[in-house]
């Protein structure tokens, strides 16, 4: 009997939230209503759509991020919206990755991309930050560039001398919102492939599309 009671004691004292999580899905953005529809918040908008599609709520504050655990395509994931502001996104994602012992290749990042037109996406297996401060922070905290990412087009700078900060913190024009939301609707399909190790299929299926 003592052995059974000891087993129950161990089960009761174990962390019920960490078991089974094998991947992180994190969308990048800035917290605050004033940033909701800015270019830099494309990642947050994707997470909002993912939550709506799968009937989950990303509202538990943990790791300085809004989080929830969910099962997507048969894979247990932690969904995240870091609340650190864009340039420090790696603080939240690095803490979660360390806690769950998730390797970089299982950390999927969704971010904006100013090299792509609105209505396009690009999936990459790994790579440099490419001047994106949120990705730069994640690379620093994971100590690796080897994490997959879904990059959402938010429009190219109107001119080479345009101010980048003003551009990414500006709102996507109303006439392009349909294109943006059209490509966001494609994100779950790409994610399901990536979560099941089919990143090449995801790249082939989604990198060339336009909405």
Closest CA to 142 of 179, 117, 178, 109: 109
- Is the predicted pLDDT of residue 18 greater than 50, yes or no? no
Cα–Cα dist 47/160, whole Å: 31
> Given pLDDT bands bounded at 50, 70 and 90, which one contains residue 8?
very low
The Cα–Cα gap between 35 and 105 comes to 29
Fold of the domain spanning 19-206 = Rossmann fold (3.40.50)
Rounded Cα–Cα distance for residues 211 and 206 (Å): 11
Q: Which residues are catalytic?
A: 40
- The residue ranges of every structural domain in the chain are 19-206
- Mean pLDDT value of segment 42-62: 97
Taking only the tens place, the pLDDT of each residue in 160-202 is 899 999 999 999 999 999 999 999 999 999 999 999 999 999 9
> Angle between the 89-100 and 133-142 helix axes, to the nearest 10 degrees?
30
* Residue 193 backbone phi and psi in degrees, to 5: -65, -45
Residue 12 confidence class, pLDDT cut points 50, 70, 90: very low
Q: What is the DSSP letter of 33?
A: G
Beta bridge partners of 111: 151
Instruction: Please choose, from the candidates 83, 102, 88, the residue with its C-alpha nearest in 3D space to the C-alpha of residue 138.
Output: 88
Q: For 108, which DSSP code?
A: E
pLDDT, mean of residues 113-128 = 97
DSSP readout, 34-60?
Answer: GGTTBGGGHHHHHHHHHHHHHT----E
């Amino acid at each position: 009997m003592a052995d059974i009671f000891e087993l129950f004691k161990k089960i009761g004292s174990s962390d019920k939230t960490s078991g089974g999580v094998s991947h992180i899905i994190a969308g990048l953005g800035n917290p605050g209503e004033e940033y909701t529809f800015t270019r830099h918040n494309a990642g947050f908008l994707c997470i909002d759509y993912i939550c709506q599609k799968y009937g989950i709520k990303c509202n538990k504050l943990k790791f300085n991020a809004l989080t929830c655990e969910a099962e997507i395509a048969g894979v247990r994931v932690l969904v995240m919206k870091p609340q650190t502001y864009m340039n420090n996104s790696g603080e939240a994602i690095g803490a979660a990755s360390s806690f769950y012992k998730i390797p970089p290749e299982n950390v999927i990042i969704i971010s904006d991309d100013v090299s792509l037109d609105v209505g396009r996406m690009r999936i990459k297996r790994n790579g440099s930050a490419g001047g994106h401060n949120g990705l730069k922070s994640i690379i620093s905290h994971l100590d690796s560039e080897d994490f997959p990412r879904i990059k959402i087009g938010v429009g190219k700078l109107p001119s080479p001398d345009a101010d980048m900060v003003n551009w990414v913190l500006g709102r996507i024009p109303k006439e392009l919102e349909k294109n943006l939301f059209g490509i966001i609707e494609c994100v779950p399909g790409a994610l399901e492939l990536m979560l099941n190790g089919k990143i090449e299929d995801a790249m082939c299926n989604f990198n060339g599309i336009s909405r």
